[in-house]
């Protein structure tokens, strides 16, 4: 998985995904809001991509 900071409080996470033998990939955009909550904007996002991204942004999380 690849997480890239695009701007302050904006990240894009990408992960490979193969469907019926074709590589289509997954992508998710993460935005940190003014109240420090996160908004996850996803396109074909898998649970593992969401979890890994949140653990990347919150390394001390008990999850």
Which residues share a beta bridge with 43? 27
**Tens of pLDDT, residues 21-62:** 887 777 888 888 898 888 877 755 566 666 677 777 777 755
Sign of torsion over alpha carbons 24, 45, 6, 63: negative
Beta bridge partners of 10: 7, 31
Question: What number is the average pLDDT over the span 2-30?
Answer: 82
Report field, pTM of the whole predicted structure over 0.85:
no
Supply the pLDDT for residue 38: 80
Output the six-digit token pair for 5: 């900071």
Contact between residue 13 and residue 1 where contact means Cβ atoms under 8 Å apart: yes
Output the pLDDT for position 43: 58
Nearest C-alpha neighbor of 13 from the set 21, 5, 38: 5
> Who wins on pLDDT, 12 or 17?
12
Q: In whole angstroms, give the CA distance from residue 38 to residue 33.
A: 6
């Amino acid at each position: 998985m690849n997480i890239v900071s695009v701007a302050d409080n904006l990240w894009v996470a990408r992960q490979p995904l193969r469907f019926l033998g074709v590589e289509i990939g997954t992508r998710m955009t993460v935005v940190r809001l003014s109240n420090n909550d996160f908004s996850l904007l996803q396109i074909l996002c898998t649970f593992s991509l969401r979890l890994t991204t949140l653990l990347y942004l919150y390394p001390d999380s008990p999850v």
